[in-house]
Amino acid sequence: MLKGIFLPKVIQERRKGRKTGIVKEKKDLLDLLMDMYDEETGTRMEDEELRAQVGLISIISEFWPMSPSAELSCTCIYQVSIKLNDY
C-alpha cells in the first residue's frame, strides 16, 4: 500500500527535477528506468509503466539479488519484463 502512495510522488518529483535541470550525482534504479527509451520510437516510459517496472523489479529482486552492476541487472530485468509482457 505504501508503495502505491509513495512511488507516484517520487516519480513526479524526479520528472519535475529533470525538467528544471537537476542532475543527481549518483543514479538509482528509478533514474536508470527513467533514462531508458524505446529505440524505435524514442519514447520513454510513462508513470504507470515506471510503477509497473519498479513493482516487477521488487518482486524479481526477492529471488535474484542485484549484481554490483545495477545498470546491467536493471537492463536484464527490463529485458525479462519485455519478454513476459509479450506473452
Beta bridge pairs of residue 37? 44
Q: Is the pLDDT of residue 39 over 80?
A: yes
pLDDT of residue 16: 93
**Contacting residues for 43 by C-beta, under 8 A, at least 6 apart:** 37
Alpha-carbon span 87 to 82, nearest angstrom: 9
Mean pLDDT of the chain: 77
Whole-structure pTM over 0.85, yes or no? no
What is the end-to-end Cα distance of the chain in Å, rounded?
27
Residue position matching grid coordinates 529533470: 18
